[in-house]
Amino acid sequence: MSRNKPAAVPSPNIRSQSSLKIAALSLAAVSLAATAILWPPTSVAAQADPAPNTPEFYTQRVLPIFKDNCDRCHGGMFHRGGLSMSSREGMMKGGHSGAIIVPGNAGQSLLIKLIRHEGPVDDPMPMPPKSKISDADIAIVTQWVQAGAVMPDAPPAE
Ligand code: HEC
């Protein structure tokens, strides 16, 4: 049943311990080097955080909010209130009330008033009608309009 055991079970000796240490040290050195490469994270930050007056800000920060909260009524074939939000043209044309965005002036933009649920008294329908997007999302959309409402002519669908 039992087979011959090796004469001596190898036990950790000084040599293997120190080579372990060296391995650990060089691992640490590698991760330090990786940190050095990523730091300062300027290029990474520029990618993750496009300036509000760039089309990238629209596609990366604003568009996901509109897709989640507005597309089912203002995207693709849906033009509720006469408003299509799927192209720059539609966005700038606005809806039955006319222009909804005054580039560079969030305070004058109907779009901002409606998502803040501070629409005009004669047309109190807030957007989206049954809920309110988060303050953080409102801030992003506001920042975008304030910076000139820059967007690609035809933002990527889905
Ligand atoms: C459930 C459907 C629905 C959703 C979701 C929705 N809307 Fe609307 N939206 C409407 C309808 C209906 C009107 C027309 C309201 C009216 O005429 O009083 C409208 C009108 C508007 C108008 C005014 C258009 C005009 O010229 O009168 C704006 C601006 C607007 N929506 C923006 C948004 C934004 C931004 C979102 C997402 C944050 C959104 N809506 C989500 C249904 C929706």
Q: What is the pLDDT of residue 119?
A: 77
Question: What tokens were used for 58?
Answer: 């629209």
CA of 155 to the centre of ligand 1 (A): 19
Identify whether 33 is part of a domain: yes
- SS3 at position 98: strand
Instruction: Read off the pLDDT of residues 75-129 as tens digits, 9 standing for 90 and up.
Output: 999 999 999 999 999 999 999 999 999 999 999 999 999 999 997 776 658 999 8
Instruction: Read off the pLDDT of residues 136-145 as tens digits, 9 standing for 90 and up.
Output: 999 999 999 9
The arithmetic mean of pLDDT across residues 14-18, rounded, is 54
Residues 32 and 67 both lie in one domain: no
Residue nearest to atom 24 of ligand 1 (CA): 95
Residues 62 and 97 both lie in one domain: yes
User: Measuring from each residue's beta carbon to the nearest atom of ligand 1, which residues come in under 6 Å?
Assistant: 69-70, 72-74, 80-83, 94-97, 100, 110-111, 114-115, 123, 125, 127-129, 133
Residue 156, amino acid: P
Identify whether 8 is part of a domain: no
How many CA atoms within 13 Å lie on the side-chain side of 64? 7
Domain with 25, as residue range(s), is 14-44
Name the pLDDT band for 28 (thresholds 50, 70, 90). low
Q: What is the CA radius of gyration of the chain?
A: 28
Nearest to 149 by CA among 95, 89, 97, 98: 89
Q: Scanning the structure block, which residue is given the tokens 């959309």?
A: 141
Q: How far apart are CA 96 and CA 94, in angstroms?
A: 7
Q: What is the pLDDT of residue 5?
A: 52
Structural domains of the chain, count? 2
CA of 109 to the centre of ligand 1 (A): 13
Whether 40 shows a pLDDT value over 70: the answer reads: no
The per-residue pLDDT of the chain, averaged, comes to: 81
Contact yes or no for 92/99 (Cβ under 8 A): yes
Identify whether 4 is part of a domain: no
Q: What is the pLDDT of residue 121?
A: 72
Whether 4 shows a pLDDT value over 50: the answer reads: yes
> 85 to each of 4, 38, 70, how far by Cα in Å?
78, 38, 8
Name the pLDDT band for 156 (thresholds 50, 70, 90). confident
Question: What tokens were used for 156?
Answer: 């990527």
pTM of this structure: 0.75
Name the pLDDT band for 2 (thresholds 50, 70, 90). very low
Residues 35 and 96 both lie in one domain: no
CA of 96 to the centre of ligand 1 (A): 10
123 CA: nearest ligand 1 atom = 18
Residue nearest to atom 12 of ligand 1 (CA): 80
CA of 120 to the centre of ligand 1 (A): 13
Residues 116 and 133 both lie in one domain: yes
